Amino acid sequence: MKFSSFLKDKIIQIFFIIFALATIEIFLLAYHVGNFIRIYIPLIIIGLYTISILIEYFTKRKYYKNTYKILNDLEEKYLITEIIKEPNFTEGKILKEILDEIDKSMHENVNKYKYLTKDYKEYIEMWIHEIKTPIATSKMIIENNKNEITKSIDEELEKIENYVEQALFYARSNTVEKDYYIKKSKLLDIVNEVIRKNKTVLISKKIVVNTHDLEISVNTDSKWVVFILNQIVQNSIKYETSNIEIYSKQGKENICLYIKDNGIGIKANEISRTFDKGFTGTNGRKKNRKSTGIGLYLCKKLCNKLGIGIEINSKENEGTEAILIFPNSSYIDMK
Partner 1 sequence: MQKILIVEDDEKLKNELKIFLLHNGYEAQTLNKFDNMVEEIFHINPDLLLLDINLPEADGEYICREVRKQSNVPIIIITSRDNEIDELVCINYGADHYVTKPFNIQILLAKIASLLKRSNTKNSQDKMYEKEFTINLSNSTLSKDNKTIELTKNELKILKYLTERRGKIVSRDEIMDFLWESNSFIDDNTLTVNITRLRNKLEELNLKELLETKRGQGYILK
Contact (Cβ atoms closer than 8 angstroms) between residue 274 and residue 296:
yes
The answer to whether residue 110 forms part of the interface with partner 1 (CB under 8 A) is no
Q: Map residues 207-246 to x or -, x wherever contact with partner 1 holds by CB under 8 A.
A: -xxxx---------xxx-----------------------
Question: Any residues with CB less than 8 A from the CB of 91 and at least 6 apart, and which?
Answer: none
202 binds partner 1 (CB under 8 A): yes
Strand, helix or coil for residue 210: strand
Which residue(s) pair with 259 in the sheet?
246, 322
Task: Answer for the pair 100, 81: CB distance below 8 angstroms, yes or no.
Answer: yes
Task: List the one residue from 180, 247, 258, 279 that touches partner 1 (CB under 8 A).
Answer: 180
Is residue 199 at the binding interface for partner 1, with CB under 8 A as the rule?
yes
Q: Closer CB to partner 1, residue 231 or residue 283?
A: 231
How far, in Å, are 122, 125, 131, 241, 267 from residue 172 at the CA level?
10, 9, 17, 30, 31
How many Å apart are CA 232 and CA 35, to the nearest integer? 95
Q: Give the total of residues touching partner 1 (CB under 8 A).
A: 34
Q: What are phi and psi for residue 318, nearest 5 degrees?
A: -115, -35
Choice from 105, 203, 268, 315 touching partner 1 (CB under 8 A): 203
Residue 137-156 contact track with partner 1, rule CB under 8 A, x = bound: xxxxx-xx------------
| Candidate segments 22-30, 49-57, 196-204, 259-267, binder of partner 1 by CB under 8 A | 196-204
- To partner 1, the closest distance from the beta carbon of 184 in angstroms equals 12
**Other C-beta atoms lying within 10 Å of the C-beta of residue 21:** 15
Residue 186 interacting with partner 1 (CB under 8 A): no
Interface residues with partner 1 (CB under 8 A) are: 128-130, 132-133, 135-141, 143-144, 157, 161, 179-181, 183, 192, 195-196, 199, 202-203, 206, 208-211, 221-223
